[in-house]
Amino acid sequence: MTQTAHGVEFSLQPSANPKTAEQREAILANPGFGNYFTDHTAVVDYSVDADGNGGWHDPRVEAYGPIVLDPSAAVFHYGQEIFEGLKAYRHADGSVWTFRPEANAARLNKSARRLALPELPVEYFLGAIRELVAADKDWVPNGDGEALYLRPFMIATEAFLGVRAAREVSFRVIASPAGNYFGGELKPVSIWISREYARAGRGGTGDAKCGGNYAASLIAQQEAEANGCKQVLFLDHFNDDAVEELGGMNVFFVMKDGSLVTPALTGTILEGVTRMSVMQVAKDMGRDVTERKITLDEWRDGVASGEITEVFACGTAAVITPIGVLKDATEFIGSEDAKAGETTMAIREQLLGIQTGTVPDTHGWLTRLA
């Protein structure tokens, strides 16, 4: 057993077939995103006893591998599943840190409440991440812009076809070495406007991080890729085509006075950890930040008039990505020759600097893992 700093003991069951140092180094030389996985996974199980009392138990780190589930497991039939995403960064002295994990733990539990899953005590969330990274710390890359992407997730595992909340659940964390999300040099990306599809609806699961939201976005994402775009923009078609978010990222607008505007959270937009961090970093720079409704018309008119000088997207995987062009079959906003804006890059460099340890962490956002 190993004792974590958060008072939860995780048993360690080492992989019998870990990658060799040579195999691991070959992967780290060009990891891509989400293509390779480390040797271990962290697991905590949940079940309800005969008296109706539920509890988490058997925290452990074990070999990465297939999950054996009954074909009637609730996750397959009723979509009881949630997940998170965060990164572990190697600092110059070789230590490994993560960024605002408590915020991810809180959001996981917000998602759990919406999907009728049990909430996970924060000490289990933090302990699982810490113990997995301790076991697989050699997998953390040290290249520019690289990190170990951590994917905590929770699935309903009970074998039962009745329509109710599952009484058996598994929380797991897997890890994947990651390079630049969009690959290569950071350049402004093209975004496709989704005119037909919505990512989420009022009263739905838009502010929960669950697989169903992403499944619903994939057809629009395919449409975007077929038209040469990296991402898709979702609008609220029943609210003046208000800007919501991309398929997996929040959106920010830089105004000509240097202030930032981002769509207000309405229950259909995911509250990104990177989003809230960008807002704070911008305020630290002396910039005003406003959360409000912003429509497609305002985006179009603002770019044309110069009122909007830069647009960027943000999320854990890509951190901050400048947006060059917004388009569909009849619309073309922005320029394919656009350069990454100065404000966008300044915020990105500040945020990445905090995450990688080259800029002081004045907010206490970093947690050491190894």
Residue 187 is predicted with a pLDDT of 86
Residues 6+ apart with CB under 8 A from 205: 114, 115, 212, 213
pLDDT digits (tens, 9 = 90+) for 300-340: 999 999 999 999 999 998 899 999 999 999 999 998 888 89
Helix (H, G, I), strand (E, B) or coil at 182: coil
Domain regions of the chain by residue span: 11-180, 189-356
Residues forming beta bridges with residue 97, ordered by sequence position: 89, 368
Residue 318 is predicted with a pLDDT of 87
Residue 220 is predicted with a pLDDT of 96
Residue 171 is predicted with a pLDDT of 98
pTM comes to: 0.94
Convert 138-177 into a string of H (helix), E (strand) and C (coil): HHCCCCCCCEEEEEEEEEECCECCCCCCCCEEEEEEEEEE
| Residue-by-residue pLDDT tens, the chain, 370 positions | 444 545 789 999 999 999 999 999 999 999 999 999 999 999 999 999 989 999 999 999 999 999 999 999 999 999 999 999 999 999 999 999 999 999 999 999 999 999 999 999 999 999 999 999 999 999 999 988 899 999 999 999 999 999 999 999 999 999 999 987 665 567 899 999 999 999 888 899 999 999 999 999 999 999 999 999 999 999 999 999 999 999 889 999 999 999 999 999 999 999 999 999 999 999 999 999 999 999 999 999 999 999 999 999 999 988 999 999 999 999 999 988 888 999 999 999 999 999 999 999 999 999 999 9
Burial category of 356 from C-beta neighbours within 10 Å (exposed 0-12, middle 13-18, buried 19 and up) = buried
Q: φ and ψ at 171, to 5 degrees? A: -105, 130
Residue 203 is predicted with a pLDDT of 92
Helix (H, G, I), strand (E, B) or coil at 283: helix
Q: φ and ψ at 244, to 5 degrees? A: -110, -85
Contact indicator for 189, 230 with CB cutoff of 8 Å: yes
pLDDT digits (tens, 9 = 90+) for 202-253: 899 999 999 999 999 999 999 999 999 999 999 999 999 999 999 889 999 9
Dihedral sign from CA coordinates of 14, 16, 17, 20: positive
Sheet strands (E) in 247-354: 250-255, 260-263, 289-292, 308-315, 319-327, 332-334
CATH class, domain 189-356, is: alpha beta
Contact indicator for 215, 177 with CB cutoff of 8 Å: no
How far is the C-alpha of 185 from the C-alpha of 285, rounded, in Å?
26
What CATH number should be reported for the domain whose range is 11-180? 3.30.470.10
